[in-house]
Amino acid sequence: MPAALDQLAINTIRTLSMDAVQAAVSGHPGTPMALAPVAYQLWQRHLRFDPADPTWPARDRFVLSCGHASMLLYSLLHLSGVKQVSHDGRVLDEPAVPLDEVKRFRQLHSRTPGHPEYRDTGGVETTTGPLGQGIGNSVGMAIAGKWLAARYDRPGFDLFGFDTYALCSDGDLMEGVGSEAASLAGHLKLDNLCWIYDDNGITIEGHTDLAFSEEVATRFVGYGWHVVKVDDANDLAALDAAYAEFKRTAGKPTLIVVKSVIGYGSPNKANSHDAHGAALGEEEVRLTKAVYGCPVDQHFCVPPEAKQAFADGIGKRGGDAHAAWNNKFAEYRTTHPELAAEWETMLSGKLPAGWDAEIPAFPADAKGIASRASSGKVLNAVAKRVPWMLGGSADLAPSNNTNLGFEGAGEFHRTPGGRNFHFGIREHGMAAALNGMALCGLRPFGGTFFVFTDYMRPSMRLASIMRLPVLYILTHDSIGLGEDGPTHQPVEHLAACRAMPNLLVMRPGDANEVAEAYRAILPITDRPVALVLSRQNLPTLDRAKYASASGTARGGYVLLDAPGGTGSASGAPDVILIGTGSELSLAVAAAEQLAGEGVKARVVSLPCWELFDAQDAAYRESVLPASVTARVAVEAAIQQGWEKYLGARGRFVGMTGFGASAPAGALYKHFGITADRVAAEARELLRG
């Protein structure tokens, strides 16, 4: 392609970015201006991507981790003619970013929000707002590329792997999650991962030397990365060579360090804070367009030659590659029909037939089993039949019971087809990588102690925003973990997780509720799940005496009703006792005490508020009739949120502060979380 046409296309990216930010009077024009050649050269000559079908499974992934530079991506999507994708994954016969959407940058309901949002805009691979998240996701995507190739490729059919590119900033590399992600990627030798580091020396407060003086290249060499340096972001030949070097490098991920000048071409604001985080101003835009040789009085100018350049470049190259892939996959489907069918089932979001056939039923047992232990048994029974369910823990697999122990499970760090991961003590990096894996069709899970969701929360929040089916296996869920003390005892974490929109929080009360929790949550593909589990043993309830655990799927159910407690005016219970998790058995014991005194007590198990709230009003009324205002809830956590179930009269038995270091039994007695206390609160309510 002639150099002049390259420059025209690059400058069109720049002017679109400037005009969009100026029209919105909001945004970051400097980085798109500086990185236009970097992204252009990647998309035009190296990225394996078909604009006519941005859902092509074998496409390379491009992640704009510096999401504040969103106009760079939107300009690329517009000029490449990328098609829009519906929320249910269908490619539509319309552009993802028509020019009118560029003009509506950062406006309500536009496809060009301030930071790229997954599902809103075709060609956006992940939501990248908080810095570091995008590169964290890219590690999961690279893992997925390796795993899919190992699982499904066969001799003569190299169909399922792909490369992942992430464009990142100083901020991405300063954030702790970026360090965790880089360390993990180096350890796993992800040679299909390329980060392109925009070394522009600017952050919002000013020059990076205010807070950042490390030698980035040296740090990444220490992580086990291959490092390439490009001294000028405008040197297309050097960029081309760097991308080619990445593709030749085996056994290591690649970091390309690119020196750029933020706001490149801006006469007065080059390499300035203003060019980073604010509109340039009309006069500055005019002057900059003059430097670029573009019409100074035209807004949102897109020369036909620029769009044609993209059509002749990534459009034709990506379309040809996709067509060849389709032909080869048709041959693969004939040659390897079972593997093809399995892969297509995975992509559809469905589960294999009989996926739950080996979920165990647990016999009644007064001594019981910790829900973390029963979870490990059920996880293995399910994952054995769902080949794309894979994951691990942040160095806690023996405690979280997340190891997949069935034949053939393997370990990813030893073979790319392995399904067990050792994420190391990198909770945030783990959670970010899980998002990237889910974005590629896998069903990932990650485990740690519940208290360490403090370290995972930003990635959990983004999984909830993107509605990704990530499973968090969170053990040691209360003061019941005992001697480790208050630093490890999550008293406020249930409330914090329940406050997060779209996140299902499931706290099962015995082994059979654990089994039914898995049965309920695996078919859910549009939200993440926090499965909250105990360290201590929980009695396995006798389901011949109590209601079936299948009610778990509805989020809440009547576990034990008072004699004659039909829910009618005449047979309604005197009091309702509500419990979750390890405290469910306390509610049961309290009900038995009260029954001996002639009090009709109903016990409600409420393991998942979100699922219960989604039931119809009639069902919720049948479980928690409004006429019964005497209610007691028990949970070894703070009360926040329980008010909606307890009403104005209800009582709560739980925590009001942090825990302490002692054996679990001593702690429950010390903090008054006992069956006796639950029964006493019920009596006081009934005395009026």
**Strand 537-540 with 365-370, pairing:** antiparallel
Per-residue pLDDT at 568 exceeds 50? no
**301 by DSSP, 3-state: which?**
coil
CA distance 443 to 389: 5
Q: Token pair for residue 535? A: 């360290």
Give the side-chain half-sphere CA count within 13 A for 324.
12
User: How many C-beta neighbours within 10 Å does residue 520 have?
Assistant: 21
Q: Token pair for residue 679? A: 């029964």
Q: Token pair for residue 556? A: 């809440």
**To which residue do tokens 């390796």 refer?**
146
Least confident of 86-90, 164-168, 339-343: 86-90
Q: State the CATH class of domain 365-538.
A: alpha beta
CA distance 11 to 13: 5
pLDDT at site 276: 54
Could you tell me if 77 and 47 are in contact, meaning their C-beta atoms sit under 8 angstroms apart? no
Could you tell me if 178 and 138 are in contact, meaning their C-beta atoms sit under 8 angstroms apart? no
In 258-417, alpha helices (H): 273-277, 282-292, 304-310, 316-335, 337-348, 371-383, 397-400
Compute the residue count for the chain.
688
pLDDT average, residue stretch 160-171: 97
Using one digit for the tens of pLDDT, what is the confidence trace for 278-301?
Answer: 778 888 899 898 899 899 989 999
Environment class of residue 237 by beta-carbon count within 10 Å: exposed (0-12), middle (13-18) or buried (19+)?
exposed
Residues of the chain with pLDDT > 70: what percent? Answer: 97
Single-letter residue type at 8: L
Using one digit for the tens of pLDDT, what is the confidence trace for 228-268?
Answer: 999 999 999 999 999 999 999 999 999 999 999 987 877 76
Per-residue pLDDT at 482 exceeds 90? yes
pLDDT average, residue stretch 674-687: 97
pLDDT at site 201: 85
C-alpha pair distances (Å), 282 with each of 8, 77, 278, 400, 554: 21, 25, 12, 57, 57
CA distance 249 to 256: 12
Please report, for the chain, the start and end positions of each structural domain, with discontinuous segments joined by +.
3-322, 365-538, 555-687
CA distance 509 to 577: 14
* pTM (predicted TM-score): 0.96
Using one digit for the tens of pLDDT, what is the confidence trace for 98-138?
Answer: 999 999 999 999 999 999 999 999 999 999 989 999 999 99
State the average pLDDT for the chain: 95
Query: Is 3-322's fold the same as 365-538's?
Result: yes
pLDDT at site 569: 46
- The confidence band for 563, taking pLDDT boundaries of 50, 70 and 90, is confident
Active site residues: 427
pLDDT average, residue stretch 467-474: 98
pLDDT at site 150: 98
Per-residue pLDDT at 567 exceeds 50? no
Per CATH, the architecture of 555-687 is what? 3-Layer(aba) Sandwich (3.40)
SS3 content of the chain, % helix, strand, coil (to 5): 45, 15, 40
User: Angle CA(463)–CA(466)–CA(471) in degrees, nearest 5?
Assistant: 35
pLDDT at site 278: 74
Q: Which CATH number fits domain 3-322: 1.10.10.1150, 3.10.300.10, 3.40.50.970, 3.30.70.360?
A: 3.40.50.970
Environment class of residue 101 by beta-carbon count within 10 Å: exposed (0-12), middle (13-18) or buried (19+)?
buried
